[in-house]
Amino acid sequence: MSEIGDSLAVSLFSEIFMADQLARNRISRALPKGMEISHFSVLNHLARLNEERTPAQLAATLHVTRGAMTNTLNRLDWAGHVHIRPDWDDARRKLVSISPAGRSARDAAIQAISPVLAEAVADIGEDRLRAALPVLRQLRQKLEGGR
């Protein structure tokens, strides 16, 4: 990579890392008391799918370790936000689904973070963000393929 390319890559990833950190901080503060981003991520994913998933599938989808996912699921189970049951076809596995209380918690979280997200979109502009999405999506796909 050329010196110019190195500089572009460093600048790009520096901006992405800082935007990620700032977004997580703002969203964490807006989430309902006791909810963490990891909890919201799992609940949001399960609500969108409306299907059961194994802890390993959830860990892979959300790019976290199985141990981190187990911790998150234990907390969500304790709060009554997910149902965890044995897989009747393979007793070694468990299946996770969102509970009605989890769906309500996810909806409350979306209500809480929506103003934060809407403000960012309004300040930057929908057209500019829509134009950036394909590039960010392609970058994510490239990074996912490079595991």
DSSP state string for the chain:
--HHHHHHHHHHHHHHHHHHHHHHHHHHHHSPTT--HHHHHHHHHHHHH-S-B-HHHHHHHHT--HHHHHHHHHHHHHTTSEEEEEETTEEEEEEEEE-HHHHHHHHHHHHHHHHHHHHHHHHH-HHHHHHHHHHHHHHHHHHHHT-
- Which pLDDT score, from 0 to 100, does residue 88 have? 93
CATH-assigned architecture of domain 31-145 = Orthogonal Bundle (1.10)
- Which pLDDT score, from 0 to 100, does residue 119 have? 92
Q: What tens digit of pLDDT does each residue of 44-61 get?
A: 999 999 999 999 999 999
Q: What tens digit of pLDDT does each residue of 54-83 get?
A: 999 999 999 999 999 999 999 999 999 999
